Amino acid sequence: MTHKLGKKKTQHLGKLRGVMHDIDALKEAVEYCGGKPAYLARKMGVSWQAVKLWLTGRSIISAERAVIIEEITEGQVTREALRPDIFIRESKKNEVGAR
């Protein structure tokens, strides 16, 4: 299903200027905090509008915010899941180093 701009409504990765974050991971963080973007926003000290922009892919989560979300969710949503373009999982680092 597409909307008038031709983009898929079920887009899983937000992409802005070549930067990527995982919207599904962000949705998981929202659920962890009670199911509303405003609840996650309050815990992070940002506006609910900022969280909505991240959820729609119209704005990108910074590396610092990804770390905060990981702390708020007690590791249930990792920084690597939120910003795979910045953070590399330890297992992937070991694979790259072993080559």
User: pLDDT: is 68 or 99 the higher one?
Assistant: 68
**pLDDT bucket at 21, cuts 50 / 70 / 90:** confident
**pLDDT bucket at 8, cuts 50 / 70 / 90:** very low
pLDDT at position 7 is 45
Residue 20 neighbours by CB under 8 Å, 6+ apart:
13, 14, 60, 83, 84, 85
**Domain locations in the chain as residue ranges:** 17-98
Fold topology of 17-98: 434 Repressor (Amino-terminal Domain) (1.10.260)
Whole-prediction pTM value? 0.73
Q: Whole-angstrom Cα distance, residue 66 to residue 22?
A: 11
Residue 42 neighbours by CB under 8 Å, 6+ apart:
48
Record the tokens describing residue 52, joined without a space.
Answer: 């909505």
pLDDT at position 1 is 46
DSSP codes joined into one string, 8-41: BTT--EEEETTEEEEHHHHHHHHHHTTS-HHHHH
CB distance 29 to 41 below 8 Å = no
Question: What is the per-residue pLDDT across 24-74, written as a single tens digit (0 to 9) for each?
Answer: 999 999 999 999 999 999 999 999 999 999 999 999 999 999 999 999 999
